[in-house]
Amino acid sequence: MKLFAAVAFSLCVSVAHASQETDACDAHRQALERQMATALTQDNSAQLSTLQAELDKTNAECTPEAIAQRHANALKRHDSAVAEARNRLRDWEAELARARKKGTDQLNIAAWERKVNRARADLNRAMARPIQ
């Protein structure tokens, strides 16, 4: 009976959130709650227990703090990828400058220029990549 009251209460509670991740969490919760209601009407306690565990996991992962932490981690990964691409570009540009200063032949300079151009393209891709 307590479980029925918890399911009924959770079906009645709905919270609107602005972020897509929060909306996805809400949609997942609602789907689980619908499945729990069906399992309850079918008196399927094993399925109900499994769904309750999944709902508990979803609720733990969908707190504002957990969402903010995931976003912060994604931002850190993005910034790290951009920094790595910048460092690689800086290294290749330095090698190209050394080759030019040294008077290296045009074939080698062209090879360094290709590396610099690829590094620039990699940096542009890293900067344009969405934060996920």
Per residue in 41-73, pLDDT (tens digit) is 998 889 989 999 999 999 998 888 988 899 999
HSE-CB for 39 with a 13 A CA cutoff = 18
Q: What angle do helix axes 20-41 and 45-61 make, rounded to 10 degrees? A: 170
Sequence-ordered list of residues with C-beta below 8 angstroms from that of 30, at least 6 positions apart, any chain: 14
pLDDT of residue 50: 93
| pLDDT band with cut points at 50, 70 and 90 for residue 102 | very high
Which residue's entry shows tokens 């151009």? 117
| pLDDT band with cut points at 50, 70 and 90 for residue 23 | confident
CA dihedral (123, 127, 129, 131) positive or negative: positive
Which residue's entry shows tokens 């050394």? 98
Distance CA 9, CA 3 (A): 10
User: What is the value of pTM for the model shown?
Assistant: 0.64
Mean predicted confidence (pLDDT) in 117-131: 95
With pLDDT > 90 as the criterion, what percentage of the chain qualifies?
Answer: 58
Q: In terms of Cα–Cα distance, which of 52, 47, 4, 50 is closest to 29?
A: 52
The residues spanned by each domain of the chain are: 19-62, 78-128
Distance CA 46, CA 49 (A): 5
